[in-house]
A and B are shown apart, each in its own frame.
Chain A
């Protein structure tokens, strides 16, 4: 048998039965998965943006309540809003990368790669744009509160404050580690797979 015979076998395939019976199920699946997912993403984006604004408002109110001595809270508000703005900008950029549904295979691979590389860059630098500003704002809050505490308050106890700051540092380090692990286990292998697929598609070697 040569390749032509196999091609003949291929073309003799019988078409599958009609899909009419599945239309309802399809509509249901679409409603359940895609539209709900889209809505969930929209809610997530809005809530992430609002969470930053809310936290900044709380910190702002706290600083306002402290009067003049609460000026370091301006920095805290700026840092939180900065992180929030960065989040929003990234979400908008990510949505823009979304390819046309009728994109060719290469375009789809390229856009997925672009998205994944962007995620990789973000996760690799998360300490700079997320962990560090938030940790800094936490430190500013702690130090400002401690400096305004009464001498007998717990906030003046250097041991307590040291342990508390270490705890904050540990939480931030854990968040950093989680993201690094996601980068290693999920993003980088997918990038490698897509790069291989792209390389194979564009390869001109006959082997």
Chain B
């Protein structure tokens, strides 16, 4: 996927961003009048841009694991996990047409997915009522036969997820991003915090995680 640029052109004029999927996108400085934006919104409501399917497929091919990790850290049950993952995909699907390419695709995916997960828990009581028992679980649990080492790894991983799930939501989000190896700058961009703040909050979150995992390690011994 080519990186899209909105760098100033000759004479200091900001060139429109070239997006191969959606055509030219005007930089934020040249916002369209309200009437045009409303018209565009209505067109999207009635007939969304088919080009976003391509982008979405690309995202899923490269970054699907992000969704799984976030869902696994926030979901309360298998059914909840499948439903949450589906909702994240739906949010990404519908947000694809708003993606301008200024941010990294992974950053965008983290933002949309984390926001979905954080808001999801607030209405999960209502959602869980409508989930049929066992629905979609088989799809999520698919993975073929599992060798013993895979099973052992999966058990450790589940304990790690368990420790993450026992943390407050804000720390959970930070720990996820840290474990995925994101820089302070990237974490700041996703969460909206300053880099200094990320540093302080991450130290706190790491300490909490280490404390929880210490219990797990003792148990394993």
- Residues of A near any B CB (own CB < 8 A): 1-3, 6-7, 9-20, 22-23, 26-27, 29-30, 33-35, 38-39, 42, 100-109, 112, 190, 193-194, 197, 200-207
Contacts and interface: CB of A to CB of B under 8 A. Distances in A.
B192 A26 contact: no
A205 B103 CA distance: 30
Given A18-B61, A104-B191, A3 B111 contact: no
Contacts of A19: 57, 60-61, 64, 89
Given A9-B153, A33-B90, A206-B203, 13 more contacts: A1-B213, A1-B217, A9-B160, A13-B65, A18-B64, A19-B57, A19-B61, A19-B89, A26-B93, A29-B90, A101-B98, A108-B119, A203-B201
A68 B89 CA distance: 63
Interface string B179-210: 11100000001111100010011011011111
A112 to B, nearest CB: 7
Contacts of B69: 13
B210 A3 contact: yes
Contacts of A12: 153
Interface of B: 42, 45-46, 48, 53, 57, 60-61, 64-65, 67-69, 86, 89-91, 93-95, 98-99, 103, 108, 111-112, 114-115, 118-119, 122, 142-143, 153, 156-157, 160, 168-171, 173, 179-181, 189-193, 197, 200-201, 203-204, 206-210, 213, 217, 220
Contact of A200 (B53, B95, B170, B200): B170
A34 B168 contact: no
B37 to A, nearest CB: 11
Nearest to A10: B179
A107 B111 CA distance: 10
A10 B160 contact: yes
B207 A103 contact: no
Contact of B169 (A10, A26, A30, A200): A200
A42 B53 CA distance: 25
Given A105-B173, A106-B193, A197-B170, A9 B156 contact: yes
Contact of A3 (B91, B157, B180, B206): B206
B90 A30 contact: yes
Nearest to A100: B98
Contacts of A17: 142-143
A47 to B, nearest CB: 16
21 contacts: A3-B209, A15-B68, A19-B64, A20-B57, A20-B60, A27-B53, A29-B90, A30-B90, A30-B94, A42-B42, A101-B98, A102-B103, A102-B108, A105-B191, A108-B119, A197-B169, A200-B169, A201-B191, A202-B197, A203-B201, A205-B204
Nearest to A34: B94
A108 B115 contact: yes
Contacts of B95: 101-102
A105 B46 CA distance: 28
From A11, A35, A105, A194, residue with most partner B Cβ within 10 Å: A105
Contacts of A102: 95, 98-99, 103, 108, 111-112
A27 B181 CA distance: 32
Contact of A35 (B48, B68, B108, B192): B48
B193 A201 contact: yes
B207 A105 contact: no
A171 B48 CA distance: 43
A155 to B, nearest CB: 47
Nearest to A33: B90
Contact of B94 (A14, A101, A103, A202): A101
Given A104-B111, A201-B170, A202-B193, A6 B90 contact: no
